[in-house]
């Protein structure tokens, strides 16, 4: 009877999670980014949610008390300065922490929506953040992390590409950096779609997904990437692709002064 109940619960979980894995392999863990684990905001105090007309749509990272780094594609229409707010200091998408109105935003001038090169942008906040255990800035990497380095992704995005919904609680997953050369090689399926200004990260059944865009890829305690694009989510031959912060850092440093 106990076993039957457990099996039944496992089936229920598998269904509610979108049944990506065969029933027997479905883990009873709470949620994912894809393959993720719930995070407290104290462990990722630089993570913010970008909200448009009151709803989460992208992630971002705090780099100073009034500047957020995100993806350029998150700032595309229909995002405007007036409909954009940032939630900081909460691991919940819909409540907690502080919700601050954007004052200005700027996408990289070289951003190309077809190729996704230079997929980075900054948002200036109307009110300065007060730093504490749940709200802190993260330093931007100035050196591209090596292939194979440990790196984590986080966000409130979808927990599976098909059928998954956006997570109410911040999730993270541990991945490894896939260097640009390796990511564009025949080991994976992207080939020349992986360009300069991009870096990849992957782990079996773990990835960023829709709604995680703009959010952080962190390695060695530094911001090394910004969630940009991927073929579906967590496909074996298609790593997540990120804007490479080390390559785009100079642009960000300039943009945060002029935005
Ligand atoms: N472009 C997506 C977004 O707007 C993020 C896609 C990331 N995909 C991936 N497989 N890593 O949220």
Determine the atom of ligand 1 nearest the C-alpha atom of 212: 12
Does the active-site annotation cover 119?
Answer: yes
Given the CA of residue 232, which atom of ligand 1 is nearest to it?
10
**Active-site residue identified among 61, 119, 167, 228:** 119
155 touches ligand 1 (CB under 6 Å): no
Quote the pLDDT of residue 33. Answer: 85
The pLDDT tens digits for 78-127 are 999 999 999 999 999 999 999 999 999 999 999 999 999 999 999 999 99
List of long-range contacts for 15-18, beta carbons under 8 Å, 24+ apart? 17/159, 17/160, 17/164, 18/159, 18/160, 18/162, 18/163, 18/164
pLDDT in tens, 123-159: 999 999 999 999 999 999 999 999 999 999 999 999 9
Q: Which of 7-11, 77-81, 160-164, 186-190 has the lowest mean pLDDT?
A: 7-11
Clarify whether 108 is annotated catalytic: no
What does the DSSP assignment read for 26-80? ----S--SBS-EE--GGGSTTEEEEEETTEEEEEEEEEETTEEEE-GGGGSTT--
| 14 lies in some domain | yes
**Which atom from ligand 1 is nearest to the alpha carbon of 161?**
10
In a domain, 160, yes or no: yes
Average pLDDT over residues 31-51: 91
Domain range for 205: 5-34+139-245
Lowest mean pLDDT among 13-17, 105-109, 210-214: 13-17
Taking the centre of ligand 1 as the mean of its atom positions, its distance from the CA of residue 9, in whole angstroms, is 31
pLDDT for the residue numbered 18:
30
Answer yes or no: is 159 within a domain: yes
Q: Let me know if residue 39 belongs to a domain.
A: no
Judgement on whether residues 94 and 213 belong to the same structural domain of the protein: no
Give me the number of domains the chain comprises: 2
Q: Are residues 88 and 11 in the same domain?
A: no
Please report, for the domain that includes residue 175, its CATH number. Answer: 2.40.10.10
User: Does any domain span residue 237?
Assistant: yes
E strand spans, the chain: 37-38, 47-52, 55-64, 67-70, 84-88, 98-107, 121-125, 150-155, 171-178, 198-202, 216-219, 222-229, 240-244
Residues 144 and 132 occupy one common structural domain: no
Share of the chain above pLDDT 70, in %: 88
What's the pLDDT band for 54 if we cut at 50, 70, 90? confident
185-210 per-position pLDDT tens digit: 999 999 999 999 999 999 999 999 99
The verdict on 17 and 143 lying in the same domain is yes
Q: What tokens appear for 8 in the block?
A: 């039944």
Residue 103 confidence (pLDDT): 98
Mean pLDDT of 164-193: 96
Active-site option among 39, 154, 167, 213:
213
Per-residue confidence (pLDDT) for residue 219, from 0 to 100 = 98
Residue 28 lies in a domain: yes
Asked whether residue 108 falls in the same domain as residue 146, the answer is: no
* Residue of 39, 56, 73, 207 marked active site: 73
Residue 14 has pLDDT above 90, yes or no: no
Beta bridge partners of 201: 177, 240
Q: What is the pLDDT of residue 163?
A: 78
The more confident residue out of 3 and 177 is: 177
């Amino acid at each position: 009877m106990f076993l039957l109940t457990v099996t039944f619960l496992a089936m229920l979980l598998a269904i509610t999670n979108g049944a990506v894995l065969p029933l027997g392999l479905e883990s009873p863990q709470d949620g994912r980014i894809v393959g993720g684990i719930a995070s407290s905001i104290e462990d990722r105090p630089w993570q913010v949610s970008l909200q448009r007309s009151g709803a989460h749509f992208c992630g971002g990272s705090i780099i100073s008390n009034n500047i957020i780094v995100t993806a350029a594609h998150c700032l595309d229409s229909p995002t405007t300065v007036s409909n954009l707010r940032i939630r900081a200091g909460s691991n919940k998408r819909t409540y907690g922490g502080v919700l601050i109105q954007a004052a200005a935003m700027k996408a990289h001038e070289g951003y190309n929506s077809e190729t996704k090169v230079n997929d980075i942008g900054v948002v200036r906040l109307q009110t300065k953040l007060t730093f504490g255990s749940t709200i802190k800035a993260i330093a931007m990497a100035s050196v591209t992390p090596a292939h194979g380095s440990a790196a984590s992704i986080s966000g409130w995005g979808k927990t599976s590409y098909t059928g998954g919904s956006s997570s109410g609680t911040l999730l993270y997953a541990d991945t490894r950096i896939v260097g640009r050369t390796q990511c564009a090689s025949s080991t994976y399926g992207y080939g020349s779609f992986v360009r300069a200004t991009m870096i990849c990260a992957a782990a079996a059944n773990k990835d960023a997904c829709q709604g995680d865009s703009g959010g952080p890829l962190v390695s060695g305690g530094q911001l090394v990437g910004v969630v940009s694009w991927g073929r579906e989510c967590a496909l074996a031959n298609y790593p997540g692709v990120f804007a490479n912060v080390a390559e785009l850092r100079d642009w960000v440093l300039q943009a945060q002064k002029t935005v």
